[in-house]
Amino acid sequence: MQVYEKVRKYLYENIGHLTTPGTPRFDIKTKTWKVPVLCKTERGILIVGEFALDKDGHFINIPTKQEMLKTAKIEVSKLPFLFYGVKRELEHKGIKAVTI
């Protein structure tokens, strides 16, 4: 089974449909596959974890659901918000208006 498909199957069965594997990359020094975990959030798609597999595709490290949820929460809190409104309304709410 390919590395990507193995991680995809694990995520679907154990974590949920809002996660998917990113592009696998092989680390020649450690002879391991690294596969990032992407999570769809209300603020965009974020990297929330990383699987490690040996050269034969056996899991070495699997991030837990709790670790990925914590990472997602932290990363979402760092993202800027986009507010639409008139300048006076935004200033009243303490939001610095920026023209895009």
Residue bearing tokens 């590395």: 3
Contact partners, residue 86, CB within 8 Å, separation at least 6: none
* Reported pTM: 0.77
The pLDDT tens digits for 70-85 are 999 999 888 877 667 7
Q: Note the pLDDT of residue 74.
A: 93
The pLDDT tens digits for 9-31 are 999 999 988 999 999 999 999 99
User: Looking at 4-89, which runs of residues are DSSP E strands?
Assistant: 19-21, 25-27, 32-41, 44-54, 59-61
Q: Note the pLDDT of residue 88.
A: 82
